[in-house]
Structure 1
Amino acid sequence: MKNANGPVAQATRHDQLISHGAGSPDNYGDLLQSIQSIKSRLRLAGDLPGATVDQQIRLVDKLSAFELGRFLIENRGLNAYWTHQLVTYRPGTVSAGSISDLEYRIFEKLPVVLATRERFGIFRQQLQALLRSGLALASVPCGLMDELLLLDYELHPDVTLTGIDLDQLALNDASDLAQERGLAGRLSLRLEDAWTPNLKATIDVLTSNGLNIYEPDNGRVTALYRAFFDMLKPGGSLVTSFLTPPPTLSAESPWKLTEIDQESLSLQHLLFVRVIEVKWSAFRTHAQTLAQLEDAGFADIRFIDDRARMFPTVIAQKPF
């Protein structure tokens, strides 16, 4: 992952990140410690139906054999770089056998990855449709800001872009992508907390993905939506998303199981829940999300589901 000097603040605030840590997969000692810790936990937990302890241990070893797997082992979440790699990957780009079977299945088969990639496509469609001349667009947390930087601005040369994130590396990489896309001149990047942005009623369209799924506190998520509400101009639009609960956790799960490969779902559960214990486990229903957005002041709220109804997109308006 490249870093470049861009229009970003120089401080770092990794201690406040809730999606991933500041650790690097290149730190071999930390990686080995994380691997041994996971293996010890799995041995204590014992066998699962369909997965013995030995099979779970082998899965850890397979994960440690490729870069994304090592990052997940150490961080239990995704950073901007790996989120970008997963959502912009084109199925079929890598053939089975050219990489490890586990890495191939993560990119090509896991239901939550497919839902995330579909959600990314829905975001881009909706955001492109919202574009108008003179608008101010923002992304919080922005990551690489690809949902905005990959849009077509040919007919809208005066649109301005703002990215807010607590991860300095994400801001650096967003700056790189803006340079590649010829959009650096209209981009402003800010190292700020999503809950306390220093922008009030200045944004026409605000996009946010991936933060609420790491935050289990419903009150904190509603407060996040209020911060977004305050950033928007009257009549402005919020484009956001949320993870819905699986049937094993909630009778209100909206998952469409006919659209989900069950073998891949079982691997996903074993990998993310049992082995890695990922942090993106704050699930919410459509009704909960609707109530939170309304509590924050939003109106005209509509949902756009992915095929599996795992990772819905929400579009909400700030009233005039």
Structure 2
Amino acid sequence: MTKTDQAAIEANADDRLISHGGNAKSGYEDRLRTIVERLRGAGDIPGATVAQQIALANELSGFELGRFLLEHRGLNADWTHRLVTYQAGATAPAAMTALESRIFDTLPAVLATRERFGIFRRTLQALLAPGMVLASVPCGVMGELLLLDYTGLEDIELVGVDLDQAALDHAAALADERGLSVRVSLHRKDAWSLGVHRGFDVLTSNGLNIYEPDDGRVVALYRSFFDALKPDGKLVTSFLTPPPTLSPESPWDMAQIDREVLALQHLLFVRIIEAQWSAFRTHAQTDSQLREAGFVDIEFIDDRARMFPTVVARKPL
């Protein structure tokens, strides 16, 4: 990639962020007004009157995470990191509103995301070996790599790639906090255009394919990862599975999900926020896409509810 190409990417990078960039131009207040007008026009739904839906939207505007979701319809690196590293009881109850506490402590999607983060860390820890180069794309705050234990593995290199400069800045701060700055390099690039060939032993990726509805684009993303991995390298990634209301092939284990809280989640993320992380795929679809990109030895590791599985795939020798 030439310097001119890199400059072009950085010039419009914020508008190309599919998770939370380019979605709002005038703040959460205008977005909230638009949401309220839409809810009034749509009418009551089973289990929630218009008045109840509007009250919930207004309640979201009462805390920082709610305002971010209202404005951006997705999560940035900082909020994702806060959600996955949150520990129940670590924040004084008075510091959170009731709705904020329910989001952090009870929503099935949040719990699955937090469990997925733990699965990533355990999986990656087990893959570590001397002299490795590990990459995170998009890296976000890069917690899945920076929070690992590198005792006795001082020669491992860590690479973070993200289009969001704020994410790279947060990753740099966490690397410094963890005493890992000397082995970390950060790059502002598009995940589909890494410009790396056989450079990484392990590549980890979370949170990008769930915002991309185009299956062809997802296969292209996996091909980008495939090319960036060394032969016998491992990809550790994840995907969102469809709920039973959207697909008869949904793998969700409803015995693990509180239906009342699931209804609240649907109101918040689907009805009110219209969240952009809605690109659902089954295990079979993900397996097919990874194989189309060239990967083999595909292994799935499910969270308890089977909502946000982890998948490990290998690039052949």
**Are 1:19 and 2:19 an aligned pair?**
yes
Q: Distance in 1 between matches of 2:10 and 2:218?
A: 28
Alpha-carbon distance in structure 2 between the residues aligned to 1:214 and 1:239: 18
| Match status 1:109 vs 2:101 | no
Matched, 1:244 2:226: no
Q: Match for 1:158: what amino acid?
A: D
1:1-320 alignment, distance < 5 Å: 13-21=13-21, 30-94=27-91, 96-320=93-317
1:137-166 CA distances to partner (integer Å, 9 max, x unpaired)? 000000000000000011200000000000
- Structure 1 unaligned regions, length at least 5: 1-8
Shift in Å, 1:93: 2.1
Q: CA–CA distance in 1 between the matches of 2:215 and 2:84?
A: 26
Say if 2:23 and 2:73, in contact at 8 Å, map to a contact too: no
Q: CA deviation at 1:97?
A: 5.0
Amino acid at match of 2:260: E
- How many Å apart are 1:22 and its aligned residue? 5.2
Corresponding letter in the other structure for 1:16: R
- Checking the alignment, whether the CA contact within 8 Å between 1:12 and 1:167 is kept in structure 2 is no
Q: Give the secondary-structure state (helix, strand or coil) at the position aligned to 2:193.
A: coil
SS at 1:195's partner residue? Answer: helix
SS at match of 2:192: coil
| Residue 94 of structure 1, CA deviation | 3.0
Q: Secondary structure at the match of 1:245?
A: coil
> Structure 1, residues 99-134: CA drift from partner, whole Å, max 9, x if none?
211000000000000000000000000000000000
The percentage of aligned residue pairs carrying the same residue is 64
Q: Give the TM-score normalised by structure 2.
A: 0.95
Tell me the TM-score normalized by structure 1: 0.94
Cα RMSD after superposing both structures: 1.4
Structure 2 gap ranges (5+): 1-8
CA contact (8 A) 2:213 2:279 kept: yes
Tell me how far 1:31 sits from its aligned partner: 2.0
Looking at structure 2, the residues matched to 235 and 295 of structure 1 have their Cα atoms a distance apart, in angstroms, of: 17
Give the whole-Å Cα distance in 2 for the aligned partners of 1:155 and 1:118. Answer: 27
Give the letter for the 1:272 counterpart. F
Code of the residue aligned with 2:38 in structure 1: it is: R
Letter in 1 for 2:248: A
SS of residue in 2 equivalent to 1:278: coil
CA, structure 1 residues 170+98, in 2 after alignment: closer, same or farther (shift >3 Å)?
A: closer
**2:236–2:313 contact (8 Å) kept in structure 1:** yes
Helix, strand or coil at the partner of 2:176: helix
Looking at structure 1, the residues matched to 10 and 207 of structure 2 have their Cα atoms a distance apart, in angstroms, of: 24
Q: Give the deviation of 1:21 after TM superposition.
A: 2.1
The CA distance in 2 between the partners of 1:137 and 1:119, in whole Å, is: 19
- Equivalenced residue count is 309
